[in-house]
Chains A and B, each alone.
Chain A
Amino acid sequence: MKSFSNQGQSPIYRIEAEQVCVDYNGNLALYEASLKLKSGSICGLVGMNGAGKSTFFKALMGFVSPSRGKIRINGVPVSMAQRDQAVAYVPQNEGIDCSFPVSVWDVVMMGRYGSMNFLRIPRESDRTAVWHALERVELIEYRKRPIGSLSGGQRKRTFLARAIAQRSSVLLLDEPFSGVDVRTEKLMADLFMQFRQEGRTILISTHDLNHVRDFCDLVVLINKTVLAYGETSKVFTTENLTRTFGGMQPDPISGSASSDE
């Protein structure tokens, strides 16, 4: 297994955002957002819809460039990190066209495209990487199935396998817990622990507070800017959560704040 330990002595952060501001044609989506994540962190990104979670993801992937501030991934600018295949994005189930004619194997192979030549012809090493990734998410016997025939949890695991095959050091997950079965949830918990051990850093965007408590070591509360970040137990205070969800108390039963829908 490839290790993601830092070379050199100076502490290089997996994700380093400094005073990042993003605006869309004058509409401020994010201001002065700062965040530093070391290798081997599992961090929850918590906020309402429209609080800037997806903007922050887009900035980390290089889709929007900050109007001010800077972002570094593994100590290099985002565009270089992209070329190194450093950042993998695991989309929400809703964001995927399930009727697209591709198999599980095809989707996971897409994680290797960035490392192939421009004709994207898989080599033996690519096939091995895909095979191993599928083994880790326990989908090897489903590899020939079209993605349309999978359950929500299996589909989620397919896209996790794609990120594994990509060998990225930073994983961005968008609402990974919505619509997944117990088995997938258990498997994701194990995988996240393994990722942490391998030195990968995981950033999980969600408004599901219970899962953040269970899965994440660190948490970032976001509402147009970073309100607080640190260890989950310390950051999850009533006061902080009230600020995050704009005065709405999180639902005590489901643990999720439902002020956004």
Chain B
Amino acid sequence: MIYMENFLLTIDPFSILISPLSHEFMRKALMVSALVGAVCGLLSCYMTLKGWALMGDAVSHAVMPGVVVAYALGLPFSLGAFVFGVGSVALIGFVKQKSRIKEDTVIGLVFTGFFALGLVLVSKIRSNIDLMHILFGSPLGISDSDVSQTLLISFIVVAILLIFRRDLMLYCFDATHARSIGINTGLLHYTLLSVLSLAAVAGLQTVGIILVVAMLITPGATAYLLTDRFDRMTILAVTSSVLSSLIGVYVSYWSDIETGGSIVLVQTLIFLLAFLFAPKYGILRFPNSRTP
């Protein structure tokens, strides 16, 4: 125990947590990552309960050409990303309806097509887009206009999710009942998909296109293992997600590793802890919950 205390004393929590805050880029990175973490964490509950993980993956990849086109035209990148995100979803629905191909195949087909288009456009359009920034995010180098875009997107997403939270929960749980009492489930479906596109755009800032799907499902999956109540699940998902973002950014700063990867790795570690030790659903559980 004494060794442990000595060890802890040699680490100065003040310098670890506070000193990076003297840099403006760190303050921005922490704020944006935490915000995006909260937004994606909230949405992840609906994604995991609705079984839309693949859809999240699809939308986040499909925004790629939108980002490139928007940059080339000098428009806000989130606008292009949103248009292509919603467009990909509409296209998935259209192809599924008009052909005999199964949905997961259509999703895989459409998002890889869009993603490939994005890659081709990046190489063809002469611009100063850094492909690596789109693919892997760069919260430490985020610009002021990107910060304000992320703020706006986050506000819209959180507002929609809070206003419709009961309806969306009912829609995920029992769409038939929702419809039979006169709730417009078609509208809810597209609301959730639009919100997904927006959240993917926001997540792109911090962890990039490749890893944004982790932000959209991991916190929800973690929270799902920890509780049987929907409201608690949202709180737990948001908490674990924000915590992951903050820890991830700090770890990335101090050990000079890639930020997006660092955030998602922390999320995955938290999930693993829940998977092993969750009181009711963990595979190991707490030892005393096993004794009769």
A-side residues, CB < 8 A to B, are: 61-63, 79, 82-83, 85, 87-89, 91, 95-97, 100-103, 106-107, 110-111, 113-114, 118-120, 146, 148-149, 162, 166
Contact = CB atoms under 8 A, between A and B. Distances in A.
B228 A146 contact: yes
Given A110-B170, A120-B167, A101 B180 contact: no
Interface size range on B against A:
20 to 34
14 contacts: A63-B176, A82-B180, A88-B180, A89-B176, A91-B176, A91-B177, A101-B232, A102-B229, A103-B228, A106-B230, A113-B170, A113-B178, A114-B183, A120-B167
B34 interface: no
B144 to A, nearest CB: 35
Contact of B182 (A89, A95, A114, A119): A114
B174 A110 contact: yes
A101 B229 contact: yes
Q: Which of B163, B172, B228, B230 has most A Cβ within 10 Å?
A: B228
Contacts of A118: 163, 167
A101 B166 contact: no
A91 B229 contact: no
A46 B238 CA distance: 48
Contacts of B167: 113, 118, 120
Given A100-B49, A110-B170, A85 B181 contact: yes
Given A100-B49, A106-B230, A91 B174 contact: yes
Tell me if B's interface is mostly helix, strand, loop or mixed. Answer: helix
B19 to A, nearest CB: 40
Nearest to A115: B181
B206 to A, nearest CB: 27
A114 B184 CA distance: 11
A217 B228 CA distance: 41
Contacts of B176: 61, 63, 89, 91, 95
Contacts of B173: 97, 100, 102, 107, 110
B180 A61 contact: yes
Nearest to A91: B176
B49 A89 contact: no
B228 A148 contact: yes
Contact of A101 (B163, B170, B181, B230): B230
Contacts of A97: 49, 173
B230 to A, nearest CB: 5
Nearest to A120: B166
